[in-house]
Amino acid sequence: MSVPVVTIDGPSGSGKGTISLTIAQKLGWHFLDSGALYRLLALSLLNKNLSFDDESVMADMARGLDIHFSAETGGEVEIYLENKQVTNEIRTEKCGNAASKVAAVPAVREALLERQRGFRQPPGLVADGRDMGTVVFPDAPLKIFLTASAEERAKRRYNQLKQKGIDANLAALQDEIAERDKRDAGRAVSPLKAAEDAVIMDSTHMGIDEVVAQVMALCQDSILKK
């Protein structure tokens, strides 16, 4: 039997990062934050002052990216690029916007495909992203598409930044989220969309605990019982 995967896809701010990590911890499974891979590539390009125009340079970098995720045993996963801790650095709006640009490059997505599939290790994997259920793990036994209104997602992002002591502007965040949604959903390769067999959940009026409980119930029904 193949190693089970739960895919959780959706737009930024839908809460899928927190929810995916919590589910992985509850199940004792591995966790793939695929957005972090695109963010790490973007950060590496920015650090090295390389252009975002040369597709083959970007794809080569994606293949050779020296990255490391700390074990997901409780709390936040720490992320390293070339042995330097960049957990917070990759979360800035600048890095997110740059990540959305590299993520639209077909050669980059192709280069990261096998790397992402390599995270599928026993006893199981929870994979968080945009195309986990549609492209990377199309055979996943449970696929969730988590969404929330753009307004709610901007508010969540705003509160998150404020909590970290980072200055933020709600209206600007809302514009940026709308622009990024458009780019992620409109790109030719692996656009953000729900897999045909995904369970669609709208978290606009739901707390994290409520979403986690529903996803755990789905895991119980579709994977753990079998």
Nearer CB in complex with ligand DC: 108/212 = 108
Please select the residue that binds ligand DC; options are 14, 22, 27, 35, rule is CB under 6 A: 35
130 binding ligand DC? (CB under 6 A)? yes
User: CB of 75: closest distance to ligand DC in angstroms?
Assistant: 18
| Cα–Cα dist 144/199, whole Å | 5
Nearer CB in complex with ligand DC: 177/218 = 177
69 binding ligand DC? (CB under 6 A)? no
Query: Which amino acid makes up residue 146?
Result: L
Q: If you write DSSP's letter for every residue of 31-79 in order, what string do you get?
A: EEEHHHHHHHHHHHHHHTT--S--HHHHHHHHHH--EEE---SSSPPPE
Give the pair of three-digit tokens for residue 157: 């992002």
Please select the residue that binds ligand DC; options are 4, 124, 129, 133, rule is CB under 6 A: 129
Cis peptide before 123 (omega within 30 of 0): yes
| Cα–Cα dist 170/157, whole Å | 9
Stretch that binds ligand DC, among 63-71, 98-106, 152-160, 167-175 (CB under 6 A): 98-106
**If you search the block for the tokens 């600007």, which residue do you land on?**
172
| Cα–Cα dist 198/183, whole Å | 22
Binding mask 144-183 for ligand DC (x = CB under 6 A): ------------------------------------x---
111 binding ligand DC? (CB under 6 A)? no
- Counting residues that bind ligand DC (by CB under 6 A) gives 14
Please select the residue that binds ligand DC; options are 4, 15, 96, 133, rule is CB under 6 A: 96
